[in-house]
A and B are shown apart, each in its own frame.
Chain A
């Protein structure tokens, strides 16, 4: 059985726990064991904390990496922000002896030492590389036939490519392949690689309208593409389009009504896990039209 150290982060377990539920239930069904990381903290945030103090950001990330090193397991993250932080820190510490020296000096305060003997993977990377779209296609029992899906990658799932080294940084296809493995169709649309704007929500609170405008550009294009729903794999992006959609409707007097799914939720449905066991009722964007189309509601 393949095993990973599960890095939960903050946002999923403490704001969007239904994403944690789907991920755990699906991975169990696919025979992947997830082991808890005792004592792990915030990754920390790759946008805010890295921008304030690179050294603290790297040291706190290294402490999380050390926990997995002690478990002798590669890390699996559910969030693309955590992925960016932990994968970048791992890369920087493995390739920069001066960083490793300085960070280990800081870590000696807590009797830890970064060694550099594990890898960091995002759950989508594990699904695509360790399991593969073909195997997923074989495993599903309830193909999502007829479902038109707009995929949203999330900036840090592919960039900076020098560090992430997974998929094309501007024209990736892995998520589209994973959607089609479920029997659904990935629909092409404009602005597919546009940032969701989540970074702005934290670092520039006064620019809320601009952040919402950014998300709105994508919603407009997805609406034009006639997709039934969108899918993504990051809790920050999820909030931008799920709760964000309600904020956009209020602010710009619009009536968007696009169901938004974390990819593992669609995979869960295709594996025959019920929508109630996936906690889909906790979405702010209503998922019922999709469940109806699939004959599940």
Chain B
């Protein structure tokens, strides 16, 4: 289970059996060999500072689709996809964060949504006989974001 206060990284060096089931199950690895889940887990398990820092700065950690197949197949409870969430949280703090995600985050900070409410979509909803889309309570969302300092992280 993810725990944002007590990080699991570096992970226990004996945890991973190196069976490779995570990489075998990974849809991203199939087309992007630079993202190799087993290799990332093994690097984290070395407990060597340099290798772990390498993982945090690697742009390919963002290639995980979060399908969680690795988590289902891992016989040792490493839960790679959850571990990678932790890796990416730390990477983001160190500035390894794709522009597209910065953009999505700022859209949420401004509107509370990932998709803008456009005049075209208003017309389409009308045409379909749907009621007007109720906008989110943006004041509440922005208060929460200010409290967690998410705006500073993605700014």
Interface of A is mostly: helix
The stretch that binds B, out of A118-126, A199-207, A257-265, A266-274, is A199-207
Q: Are A63 and B65 in contact (CB under 8 A)?
A: no
Write the nearest CB–CB distance from B124 to chain A, whole angstroms: 6
Contacts of A194 in B (CB 8 A): 27
Indicate which residue in B30, B137, B148 contacts A59 across the interface (CB closer than 8 Å): B148
Indicate which residue in A36, A110, A214 contacts B134 across the interface (CB closer than 8 Å): A36
Contact flag A282-B124 (CB < 8 Å), given A42-B108, A52-B89: yes
Q: Are A13 and B133 in contact (CB under 8 A)?
A: yes
Residues in B108-127 with C-beta less than 8 Å from chain A: 108, 112-118, 121, 124-125
Q: Is A160 in the interface zone, CB < 8 Å from B?
A: yes
Q: Are A52 and B153 in contact (CB under 8 A)?
A: yes
Indicate which residue in A51, A55, A197 contacts B62 across the interface (CB closer than 8 Å): A51
The stretch that binds A, out of B14-22, B40-48, B96-104, is B96-104
Q: Are A160 and B71 in contact (CB under 8 A)?
A: yes
Assembly CA distance A98 to B1 (angstroms):
12
Indicate which residue in A8, A36, A52, A207 contacts B32 across the interface (CB closer than 8 Å): A207
Contact flag A54-B63 (CB < 8 Å), given A42-B113, A161-B72: no
Q: Is B141 in the interface zone, CB < 8 Å from A?
A: yes
Q: Are B150 and A41 in contact (CB under 8 A)?
A: no
Assembly CA distance A229 to B104 (angstroms):
32
Assembly CA distance A98 to B139 (angstroms):
26
Q: Are B136 and A51 in contact (CB under 8 A)?
A: no
Number of interface residues of A (CB under 8 A): 69
Indicate which residue in A21, A59, A202 contacts B104 across the interface (CB closer than 8 Å): A202
Q: Are B65 and A198 in contact (CB under 8 A)?
A: yes
Contacts of B72 in A (CB 8 A): 159-161, 169-170
Indicate which residue in B3, B79, B148 contacts A106 across the interface (CB closer than 8 Å): B148
Contacts of B145 in A (CB 8 A): 56, 60
Most buried by A among B71, B101, B130: B101
Contacts of A106 in B (CB 8 A): 144, 147-148
Residue interface mask A46-65, B partner, CB < 8 A = 1: 11111111111011100100
Contacts of B92 in A (CB 8 A): 51-53
Contact flag A10-B113 (CB < 8 Å), given A52-B153, A63-B141, A110-B143: yes
Assembly CA distance A99 to B101 (angstroms):
25
Indicate which residue in A102, A169, A200 contacts B28 across the interface (CB closer than 8 Å): A200
Q: Is B69 in the interface zone, CB < 8 Å from A?
A: yes
Contact flag A55-B148 (CB < 8 Å), given A21-B129, A155-B65, A194-B27: yes
Residues in B53-68 with C-beta less than 8 Å from chain A: 62-68
Write the nearest CB–CB distance from A283 to chain B, whole angstroms: 13
Residue interface mask A64-83, B partner, CB < 8 A = 1: 00000000000000000000
Contact flag A92-B128 (CB < 8 Å), given A56-B148, A110-B144, A199-B67: no
Indicate which residue in A24, A46, A197 contacts B27 across the interface (CB closer than 8 Å): A197
Contact flag A14-B32 (CB < 8 Å), given A155-B67, A203-B100: no
Q: Are B30 and A214 in contact (CB under 8 A)?
A: yes
Q: Are B85 and A51 in contact (CB under 8 A)?
A: yes
Indicate which residue in A11, A56, A102, A282 contacts B115 across the interface (CB closer than 8 Å): A11
Write the nearest CB–CB distance from B16 to chain A, whole angstroms: 18
**Which A residues fall within an 8 A CB radius of B?**
8, 10-11, 13-15, 17-18, 20-21, 24, 36, 38-42, 44-56, 58-60, 63, 92, 95-96, 98-99, 102, 106-107, 109-110, 112, 155-156, 159-161, 169-170, 193-195, 197-200, 202-205, 207, 210, 213-214, 279, 282
Q: Across chains A and B, which 8 residue pairs bring their CB atoms closest together, nearest first?
A: A41-B136, A199-B65, A39-B137, A41-B112, A159-B68, A155-B67, A51-B88, A195-B67
